[in-house]
Structure 1
């Protein structure tokens, strides 16, 4: 069974002009829905890069990528709504007037840059402007240099997929209520969920722009390309001599039990070795030895990649080759329908989100899977997170500083900012899965669940005897969604990965950086939540398909495949003989200027920047008149492109005298897309998000009441909610075993005594360093 079967029979109408709405509809087409696409007359997609010539006309390969699986509609798009299930549009609200009343069972996704109210509602924007205001660019790039937007159309594609997640949840709710939903999809709010703002909320400091994750890895040039590797990881230091027969590192670098060695001596040992070798040889040999790393691949290399070809990833259409299925679906039919599946289950009396009553078992860790399950929790699902007593979620150990706390004896595993960001709204059970009794508890949870999500490495579930086959023995209609670094099957299936290496392996980093310089990494492993959005969509597509039959569905995906699909337009270009574009900061074809410009520094000396995007000559004339920069040679797009560096230099000299926020409003007022670049700290005080009551304020026993990120969407009838902070380790173990699974108190006591389960771990070990006390902001 392929991806294209799960939503077969669902009818979607798309009326769009920009990427997020088109990407939202593309996600439905991926899963087999009948999508009728109507392009608005002013569609931005027809001229979206990269462009090639076909039949004597320019052809946008981004548009081509987003059209795969859809049917072009003809005539009036409103006439298609009579028997449609979903409408996806980014049209102005006045063009959508009356639709909710005329079609009360219709799910409507309305995409816009900033939502329909608030101070920015009428701002002019493109991806650069949205990412500046969302704090996304504030962590990307190098310190003191221009903040960088994500490459290609990665962020607007991710926004669209997040819209599909909410629409799938609303379709599940409609099975109960028979009623539709209006979903407001704001690109700013969706993008704002992809950053680590909670770390700044608890530290009072902005995350810096440091080219990737500080202290973990960096981009290193090889004899023929680039890799991402941690040169100071002791794993790297041990593996290089084994892989290449070189002299071992100085013994003192491997001393002690810490994970990392001293940085400078380690780099002095590793760099000459790496620079003398081909990237592919380093990638293959070190990955086989268990190193977590990336080989930076071009689009052409991705088309030839043995893993992607082994799993038959690619799709060929109209003599172009691009991303095909990013996931594999296995469907098992059962003779007897489950009596209490979600569609038949009575809803709770105090029902809130559209997924209220959906039961999710969460075996995920770090950010990819927890981001996906947080989306489900925000939409109302009951999420039970399963952790090991001795090996809990690794993000409880993340390297960031602990949160400042109100409880001086708080256990450090309960106050890490990244874990608390990624796991709000969930309950947790602490159980040793590698024991027979622990496995039995896991299967008891599965027996009552609708869907299970996991992102273990391949074969972990097999070793635990918790495969999909084992789950089906206790729940014949269970859905399982499995994501790992590279998936199951193919030459890379046992290689390790994380968000920082996935972006390099998937071709993102070769597109990302400053002109004429080496590639960079994104600031904070943002491939994790970006791919996590697809994991959430897969889970809901599987659950929805299961409601309409007697099937148990297993969806298998990988970070690598899903991340590659985010730059599909460049795969298509490579298949047509085109080269990937050179790294060029924030510059893009068709707009000039399109960059960040330094403004007057903040009072405390921090550098401040403004993003400016000029899509056409009329916009330029407004900017030039305001900034006194009108030059005859700059009055056309071609002229500005020819003199781009000189133009940017002149514009920087002018913006350097302005406060970024003042200039943002002055430029927007005259019709120039512009935005101050938020850091993760200033983002917390954004007036638009405050006016829309976007932030959540959750009370945690150890950290007090703090400001958490809100939701990617607004649902009018059944709004997303969250009133529970992230769980402390083992906090709900006894409660879940007793109240949810019905275990007797005596049995629970035996399991605790045998260390099969653990109850709340709330105090630090005596003698361990105390977390820092809380300080007022």
Structure 2
């Protein structure tokens, strides 16, 4: 039941996993160029059965497993009918899961919102753009797509857990919360290191802690180049011929360069990059083991042979290509009896919905650890496999800094980023190059339900630890592999991070002030949590199916494809029009729409007028003080969009004299989507973050009391997430081996002595 893209895409996700989905609701309005709008709407509703009108609520919920209820922006009668459907579901003796989706919630009620305003509230927009220009929003409804992902995952968790308590079958997820969750995670790599969370052009603030990490002009376009450790930085300098300037000791450690000398390093690096073509730089990156990618246009991205190799596209009668799903499945031929299924639904706490699910976590950095941490926030036991000689790069972000001084403690333990991404997990250290360690891992597979890994394709297989080996020991195991481009194909060996995903998908080419000033999405690093959202949906869908059929499976997920799945409008438009304009805080159907200045330094308001009625309410607010309020040209959406530049210039003069928060409150009261373009500090200290309870505090051995962001779901009005810090390296090794595998202390001690457990 959807009135916006968030509910519609959630329904599409369930269709792609095999569910029978009936669609009820008004037409949805996408941020799509006119040429692509019809195609994008058809794509998001593909495979659903259209139910006309507003049927009897009892008929709607009869025989239904899950209700997606999203009524943002709909007319009051339809909203009221949606509440009747929810009540009818609750009246059943065995009610379906009801997932309520909204852009933003206050006191349990939705407030006027738009994809634009949820990003502004959440402090995501604050970090995108040039320091001396207006902040930039995520384009093409990307914020609504993220709500769809995590709303679908939350609903599948309830289906999987099948809670006995009726109230736990009511789930609510807000888009503002989801984006704030993203920001809360990524800023663990900024603020605790005394790096600001603010706009710094095409690079994240402070180069995200390790230099370089930015979009650079090449001789024929742009590339994204990222070195995330000292080895990669020195490999880049070697590829440059170890120039004289690089021999200065201040340029030796890329973390020091990021903190103190990035502008100076840019003066040397930018001209060198600009003297090479994008193709030359990509070849150099592959030869040197560096993460380099061209900033592809959307049209260039969809022509990449990798996607044809993986059969990623559907083709309509005219030959127009559209995304399918970002995963491919393999399974054992026969159903198996799963490990004793302990997820019983008997627990009354949301934090224990997945109690009994055991996860073997072979992932690192962000996308994989985020996927497993969400499961942990709902009660799953997550065993993080580590190696002291080849640690998760999250452990190498450095010690937190306070008042200019690093906190005490081992560097790999005193890192807030690792603490955020891996809170609540258990750590076991194994040297996977040792046969004894591999044998232990296979024994653990027998005791687990899920395996998650995001290594480069082939790494595990070369160790004799492929899905085939795991399934031979546990045919019911569900394995998720999250690689950059998929396990096979021309790009399967591609190295990269979120910025590389965004560059190869075409997304980065859409975020900037014009085609010559592309800033991209390196600050929020959207590719990682977007990949994790798709991973969660497919993984939880596989677990629901396993519970019903006994079949385990292997999910091969492409993180680049996951980004392309949330870009239906630009993908269609690029084929129809040949090009996609950089939106720059605009919407093809609505005006005024965007970020407008407010009184004070670098204070902005996000404003989205989505109907003529809302325009009338805005005009009434400004009547007598703004000439545009009575201008006949602006009375219709067509007129406002046609004269967008003039209208929004006049609007900006008016908003520039307004107190931001007073104006936001006045607009919301009149039913107009508005928000402050909030800084991180404003977001995290806000009343709505506190009331939604997706931020908690833990006591860490070295970091002391520190904040953590947990999964932004509410079951029966209650939050999830356990206030448990990340584990010390290998802290749970002995307990895991004795408790799960029954090893004796002497045997464990011998394995330690022989450096198997290291």
| Stretches of structure 2 lacking an aligned partner (at least 5 in a row) | 72-78
Asked if the contact 2:161–2:345 (Cα under 8 Å) also holds between the matched residues in 1, the reply is no
Residue 309 of structure 2: aligned partner: 310
Contact 1:430/1:730 (<8 A) preserved: yes
The aligned residue for residue 361 of structure 1 is 360
1:187-202 aligned at under 5 Å gives the runs 187-195=175-183, 196-198=186-188, 202=192
Per the TM alignment, residue 413 of structure 1 is displaced from its structure 2 partner at its CA by 1.5
Asked if the contact 1:238/1:248 (under 8 Å) is kept, the reply is no
Once the two structures are superposed, residues 277-308 of structure 1 have per-residue CA deviations (whole angstroms, 9 ceiling, x without a partner) of 54345435533542202212222212311111
Partner of 1:82: 62
Distance 1:241 1:410 in 2: 33
**How far has the Cα of 1:235 moved from its partner?**
5.0
* Native 8 Å contact 1:189 1:711 kept in 2: no
Counterpart among 5, 14, 29 of residue 28 in structure 1: 14
Q: Which residue of 2 aligns with 1:709?
A: 709
- 1:68 to 2:68 alignment: no
Paired position in structure 1 for 2:573: 573
1:563 counterpart = 2:559: no
The answer to whether the 8 Å contact 2:608/2:674 transfers is: yes
Q: In the alignment, is the contact (CA less than 8 A) between 2:121 and 2:675 conserved in 1?
A: yes
Q: 1:231 to 1:409 in 2, by over 3 A?
A: closer
Deviations 1:208-262 (A, max 9, x none): 21233313322223344321125999858866997xxxx8452452677645877
Please point out which of 36, 49, 66 is paired with 2:32.
49
Contact map agreement 2:336 2:550 (CA 8 A) in 1: yes
Q: Cα distance 1:276–1:407, how it changes in 2: closer, same or farther (>3 A)?
A: closer
Give 1:665-704 correspondences, 5 Å limit: 665-704=665-704
Distance 1:208 1:336 in 2: 51
Superposition deviation, residue 648 in structure 1: 2.9
5+ long unaligned stretches in structure 1: 1-14, 54-58, 759-777
Q: Do the aligned partners of residues 363 and 83 (structure 1) sit closer, same or farther apart at CA in structure 2, a change above 3 Å counting? A: same
Structure 1 residues 271 and 139: CA distance shift in structure 2, 3 A: closer
Structure with higher helix content: 2
The alignment status of 1:208 with 2:208, answered yes or no, reads no
In the TM superposition, residue 177 of structure 1 has moved relative to its aligned partner by 8.4
SS of structure 2 residue aligned to 1:615: coil
Q: TM-score, normalised by structure 2?
A: 0.88
**Deviation at 1:535?**
1.2
Counterpart in 1 of 2:74? none
The 1:712–1:405 alpha-carbon spacing in structure 2 relative to 1, beyond 3 Å, is: farther
Q: SS of 1:152's equivalent?
A: coil
1:488-499 alignment to 2 at 5 Å? 488-499=487-498
SS at match of 1:706: strand
Q: Give, in whole Å, the separation in 2 of the partners of 1:663 and 1:269.
A: 45
1:751 aligns with 2:724: no
Partner of 1:589: 588
How high is the TM-score relative to the length of structure 1?
0.86
Equivalent pair of 1:406/1:702 in contact (CA under 8 Å): no
Q: Conserved in 2, the CA contact under 8 Å of 1:202 and 1:404?
A: no
Question: Does the aligned pair in 1 maintain the 2:28–2:41 contact within 8 Å?
Answer: no
- The alignment partner of 2:517 has SS state of coil
Cα deviation for residue 358 of structure 1 reads: 0.6
Query: In the superposition, relative to structure 1, how do residues 336 and 695 fare at CA in structure 2: closer, same or farther (>3 Å)?
Result: closer
Q: 1:706: Cα distance to partner?
A: 2.8
TM superposition shift of 1:205: 7.1
Query: Cα gap change, 1:254/1:235 in structure 2, threshold over 3 Å: closer, same or farther?
Result: farther
DSSP-derived class of the 2:35 partner: strand
1:204/1:676 CA distance change after superposition, 3 Å = farther
- Rate the CA distance shift 1:295–1:751 in 2: closer, same or farther, 3 A: same
CA contact (8 A) 1:202 1:417 kept: yes
Bigger shift: residues 264-273 or 156-165: 264-273
Aligned CA distance change for structure 1 residues 237 and 633 (closer, same or farther; 3 Å): farther
* Alpha-carbon distance change, 304 to 204 in structure 1, aligned in 2, over 3 angstroms: closer
Query: Is the Cα contact below 8 Å between 2:329 and 2:556 reproduced in 1?
Result: yes
2:433 is paired with a residue whose SS is coil
C-alpha displacement of 1:691:
2.8
Describe how 1:273-284 pairs up with structure 2 within 5 A: 274-275=273-274, 277-284=276-283
User: Are 1:227 and 2:223 an aligned pair?
Assistant: yes
Residue correspondence of structure 1 range 279-678 to structure 2 within 5 A:
279-284=278-283, 286-287=285-286, 289-319=288-318, 320-334=320-334, 336-338=336-338, 340-341=340-341, 352-398=351-397, 401-402=400-401, 409-515=408-514, 517-522=516-521, 523-575=523-575, 577-601=576-600, 607-627=602-622, 628-629=625-626, 630=629, 631-678=631-678
Q: Alignment partner of 1:413: what SS?
A: coil
Q: Distance in 1 between matches of 2:677 and 2:718?
A: 33
How large is the Cα RMSD of the aligned pairs?
3.1
CA distance in 1, matches of 2:93, 2:436: 51
Task: Give runs of aligned pairs for residues 160-175 of structure 1, distance below 5 A.
Answer: 160-174=148-162
Q: Give me the whole-angstrom Cα distance separating, in 2, the residues matched to 1:255 and 1:77.
A: 75
Partner of 1:763: none
CA–CA distance in structure 1, aligned partners of residues 96 and 332 of structure 2: 30
Indicate the SS of the match to 1:521: coil
For the 8 Å contact 1:354–1:718, the answer to whether it is kept is no
Paired with 1:552 and 1:511, the residues of 2 have a C-alpha distance of 39
* TM-fit CA distance, 1:270: 5.0
Contact 1:49 1:61 survives alignment (8 Å): no
CA separation of 1:689/1:268 partners in 2, compared to 1, >3 Å: closer, same or farther?
Answer: closer
In structure 2, C-alpha distance between the alignment counterparts of 1:330 and 1:737, rounded to whole Å: 30
Alpha-carbon distance change, 36 to 287 in structure 1, aligned in 2, over 3 angstroms: farther
1:250 to 227, 243, 259: 243
Q: Distance in 1 between matches of 2:298 and 2:709?
A: 34
Q: Shift in Å at residue 403 of structure 1?
A: 7.1
Instruction: Flag the 1:365–1:573 CA change in 2: closer, same or farther, 3 A.
Output: same
Q: CA deviation at 1:199?
A: 5.5
Instruction: Write the distance in 2 (CA, Å) between the matches of 1:397 and 1:472.
Output: 33
Q: Label 1:429 to 1:398 Cα distance change in 2 as closer, same or farther (>3 A).
A: same
| Alignment counterpart, residue 123 of structure 1, candidates 111, 124, 130 | 111
Comparing 66-75 with 277-286, which one deviates more in the overlay? 277-286
Other-structure match for 1:217: 213
CA pair 584-733 structure 1, distance change in 2 beyond 3 A? same
Q: CA deviation at 1:359?
A: 0.7
Specify whether residues 184 and 230 from structure 1 end up closer, same or farther in structure 2 by C-alpha distance, changes over 3 A only: closer
1:157 equivalent to 2:137? Answer no
